[in-house]
Structure 1
Amino acid sequence: MSSVDLREPSARVDRSGRQRRATAPLVVALSLLMIAWLGDDAVNRVTDADGDTAAGLSIGTLPLERNASVERWMEQLQTTRREEFQALLESSGVFEDLIRGKLRERSMPEELLYLAMIESGLSPLAESRVAAVGLWQFMDPTARDLGLRMDEYVDERRDPVRATDAALDYLFWLRARFGSWYLAVAAYNAGPARIERILELYADGRTGNEAIYWEILRHLPRETREYVPRLIATALLAADAEALGFEDSDARAYEYDLVYVPGGTKLPVVARSLDVHADVLRDLNPHLIRDVTPPGEMYALRVPAGHGPAVVASLGRVWPSPNVD
């Protein structure tokens, strides 16, 4: 984001100034888990400057183990699926800095970036045949449990910032639950209840060891069997992409200013005031599903980096007191 930005709001605010975002069940569970883990130091270590990330908490690295399953994926991504992999690398430039930055804030493995690449091709508008949506492919119930907003105006599963925060919260919780990044990633794909049942049946309920994933591999759903090997292969190849003949991404990074605007502000109106195409604002605000901010509340709109003051000046001629830091 630009230096003139407001911080991302942690709650919606109505005209009376009251917060309207309820605390979701998984958010409560995550907070309790961290407090139990960290004790009296929990608040200082779990809360960062924005008040809602797990900064400074180290929970291990993601091992990049090479075996036959991983090697098979590495071969495919360099041969029969090479064009697909190149396209993914090219698209990664838009959100890579955003996701890596949030992973670093939480001391989580940066290789988890490639989970979003596998899930959605790093497209906020991606929607699967089973109605999973966004960069991190959240289904409706999980998204609501994680506190994401979904209504007739906003679908935060499509919000690169909100959805990434929610995904990393969820992955952190899964890693703490299973004690293994491989099992956490498998549970992200198949669901934690299913992974727990498989562990009970085929691993005596054991957790806490990366090797357990490979022990139960043949008992996992087909898609999940391929999920971790593909993630490892993607991370290994991406780390050495240039040497392997892949081209770097030249996509423009996701950068913006935040401006609080009144409810009902139409994106095309703001776009005209900036002399940019409305698609520029749609790309920055893919979560606004009707091209308009929700009525009845001030809303933090993302505009092109450096253009926040111009939006404030433009809207100030129509509505009082839009603001930008």
Structure 2
Amino acid sequence: MQNKGWRIILTLVLAVNVGVIVFLVMGSANSTEPAVVNVAETAKFKSVDIPDSVSFAGEPMPLHRFDVRESLDRELLVNSYFHSQTLRLIKLAPRYFSVIEPILEEKGIPDDFKYLAVAESGLNPSAISPARAIGFWQFMQGTARDYGLEVSNEVDERYHVEKATYAACDYLLDAYEKYGSWTLVAASYNAGMRGIDRQLERQKADDYYNLLLVTETGRYVFRIAALKLILENPAAYNLIVPEEEKYPIIPTKEIEVTGPVLDFADFSHAHDINYKLLKDFNPWLRQAYLTNSLGKTYTIKIPQLN
């Protein structure tokens, strides 16, 4: 009897539900008001526009050639649609360009080479590649020492933005003396001068755009040029970053150290900052101490946050 009663109740419930559904459908059909459906607008992606002319370090890119044009197009697409990274680069650029632009000018290096640093490290002073190239300008250990940077267990100046920029400028000047072409200079920064020399001789060429190179170097100058175009005019690539959202330039004061530092945590607290900030602004200090047995003079930056 109980089972029979439950079957009757369930039948009634189902009948009521069906009746409600029929009522709603009929009511909707007879209504004079149109149904409102909220559908999110479909995202639209389009090709990027390639300028009529593009130059790198004052040297024109031969865009009349299909292979050159398509190579630039590839890098513009990759970097303009890599939204999170490219937006972050736009935010970071004022902070680091303010440091490296005066050094490039002082050393007689075209300003466009600041975009080489973007391509190399993503404006990360602590960047480390799988090949163990390190820092803003991605120096290998041997090359860093060749160009006067200190690389030791306690101090690694590949992480020092200013000093590494001066060293990079010296390399670029040496390469320009060899090639007389800033485009080839940029390519040599990626492949090495020996690598570029070998390909110029093998292929009987004298121009970057006529060389068959490994993929990374073959894309390298185009990537730099694409980053230049995007960072110079982000809005043209639908990347909008208001000025107030760009990362600020943090003022610093400089403290000269001529002897050992027993504990950088104590040192940082003595200068009213924490250990993390000390290392953020001085990533070239690789340990929590500095023995400085040779009595060198090191300049440590202290951020001024007040």
Q: TM-score range by the shorter chain?
A: 0.7 to 0.9
* Residue number in structure 2 paired with 1:232: 225
Q: Which amino acid is 2:215 matched to?
A: R
**What is residue 123 of structure 1 aligned with on the other side?**
124
Q: How far apart, CA to CA, are the structure 2 residues paired with 1:298 and 1:105?
A: 25
Q: Is the 8 A contact 2:90 2:246 kept in 1?
A: no
Closer, same or farther: CA 106–295 of 1 in aligned 2, 3 Å: closer
Question: Following TM superposition, where does structure 1 have runs of at least 4 consecutive aligned residues deviating by more than 4 angstroms?
Answer: none
CA contact (8 A) 1:64 1:232 kept: no
Which residue matches 2:136? Answer: 135
Within the candidate set 58, 67, 70, 1:68 is matched to 70
**Greater mean alpha carbon deviation, residues 254-263 or residues 156-165:** 254-263
RMSD: 2.1
For the pair shown, the structure with the greater C-alpha radius of gyration is 2
Instruction: Map 1:26-45 to 2 at 5 A.
Output: none
Which residue of structure 1 lines up, in the alignment, with residue 35 of structure 2? Answer: none
Taking only the aligned residue pairs, the percentage that are identical comes to: 29
Q: Which residue of 2 aligns with 1:252?
A: 248
Asked whether the equivalents of residues 256 and 298 of structure 2 are also in contact (C-alpha less than 8 Å), the reply is yes
Higher relative contact order (CA 8 A, sep 6+): 1
User: 1:86 and 1:250, CA in 2 relative to 1: closer, same or farther beyond 3 A?
Assistant: same
1:280 aligned to which of 259, 277, 282: 277
Give me the whole-angstrom Cα distance separating, in 2, the residues matched to 1:160 and 1:254.
15
Q: For residues 202-258 of structure 1, give each alpha carbon's deviation from its aligned partner in whole angstroms, at most 9, with x where no partner exists.
A: 125x4xxxxx11111xx2111000100000111011111145433156223264322
Q: Which segments of 5 or more consecutive residues in structure 2 lack a partner in the other structure? A: 1-55, 64-68
1:268 shift after superposition: 1.5
CA shift for structure 1 position 273: 1.6
Aligned mates of 1:254, 1:282 — CA distance in 2: 15
Displacement of 1:180 after TM fit? 0.7
Question: What do residues 101-157 of structure 1 show as CA deviations (whole Å, max 9, x unaligned)?
Answer: 111212321111111111111111111111110001111111111111011110111
Provide TM-score, normalisation by structure 2: 0.72
Residue by residue over 1:35-77, the C-alpha shift from the partner in whole angstroms, topping out at 9 and shown as x without a partner, is xxxxxxxxxxxxxxxxxxxxxxxxx934363522112211222
CA distance in 2, matches of 1:136, 1:255: 23
Q: Does the residue aligned with 1:144 lie in a helix, a strand or coil?
A: helix
Aligned residues: 239
**1:64 and 1:277, CA in 2 relative to 1: closer, same or farther beyond 3 A?**
farther
The structure with the largest helix share of the pair is 2
Deviations 1:83-114 (A, max 9, x none): 22112222223311111111121232111111
- Match of residue 215, structure 1, among 204, 210, 214: 210
Q: Is the 8 A contact 2:57 2:113 kept in 1?
A: no
Distance 1:130 1:69, change over 3 A: same
Q: Which residue is 1:300 aligned to?
A: 298
Q: How does 1:77-226 map to 2 (within 5 A)?
A: 77-79=79-81, 81-204=82-205, 206=206, 212-216=207-211, 219-226=212-219
